[in-house]
Amino acid sequence: MKKIILLFLISLFTTQLFSQDKIYKLKGTVINAKVIEIGTDEIKYKLFENPDGPVYVVDKSTLNRIEFANGKVEKYTSSFKDPQNYEGQLTKAIKFNFLSPLLGYAQFSFEKSVSPLKSYELGLGIIGAGKNYQIDNYYVNGQYQPYKRNAFGVFVDAGYKFNKLPNFFSKGTRMTHVMQGTYIKPTATLGFYKDNALSYKTGNPVIINRHNIFGAIILNFGRQWVFGEKFLVDLYYGIGYAFDNTKNDNSNNYYSDNLYNHFVIQKAGSGANLGFSGGVKIGLLIK
């Protein structure tokens, strides 16, 4: 009789042990629970050890999986990374650097989303397609003449964008578009252009023509907004490593204000040095 009672208690304990649901969270926490309801965005449950206690609610985006008492396993992926949540959205964009003509160049770029939270961007810039700044004045036959840079050339750049997982703005509201959000973007830039410079090597100002090659590896930080599934605005700034073929040995005594201004990249000084970038791009989403 004692053996029968013991076997009954063991059976009852084993049944109770394996009748619980297990909720596995992304950070590794395991909750022994009795799942009550599974909704679109959240799951309701009670603690297994307190079946008459309160009902708890957990968001699906914080879960890895649920192992049910009957052996069924339901796995969850982050809703932000699920491509199905972005079906039907345009994933390509043509962009223009809105302020670039004021700085003496024009920049166009193409962005393509390759997966949720990741995209690549290719750019082409025309140096000289913008304002031609007067850098200085110099004397010619006793009269002041304007000195303009008259730059002309091209540059290309390529970057890979990593978006940050967005936060909830309100219950059930997440990233509204696959190409929207805060990001970091490593970018490589290479360019060539000709421009004018003043040389005082002979004692009198003489305009000489320079041939400039420059490049940079920049880490850009930015945020992109999408409006009405059609338009976007991209605000960014960056810092990194820049180089060029400019020599600062004072043998030519160039006018120094534009010595390290490479339009899309600003270099801190001679030789390999810090490089800076920044801008505001506007764009149109395309198929």
* Residue-level length of the chain: 287
- CATH number given to 2-75: 2.30.30.100
Partners of 261 in the beta sheet?
266
Is pLDDT above 80 for 248?
Answer: no
- Residue corresponding to tokens 């999408």: 226
Half-sphere exposure of 250 (CA within 13 A, CB side): 0
Give the pLDDT confidence score for residue 28 in this predicted structure: 81
Q: Does domain 83-286 have CATH number 2.30.30?
A: no
Q: Give 71: exposed, middle or buried? Use CB within 10 Å, 0-12, 13-18, 19+.
A: exposed
Among 24-33, 134-143, 165-174, name the one with the lowest average pLDDT: 165-174
Tokens coding 255: 């006018």
Which tens digits make up the pLDDT trace of 187-209? Answer: 999 999 999 877 777 766 677 88
- Residue corresponding to tokens 């809105």: 98
The dihedral region occupied by 88, where left means phi > 0, alpha psi between -120 and 50, and beta the remainder, is: left
Which tens digits make up the pLDDT trace of 95-151? Answer: 999 999 999 999 999 999 998 889 999 999 999 999 998 766 766 666 777 778 899
How far, in Å, CA of 167 to CA of 188, rounded?
Answer: 30
User: What residues does each domain of the chain span?
Assistant: 2-75, 83-286
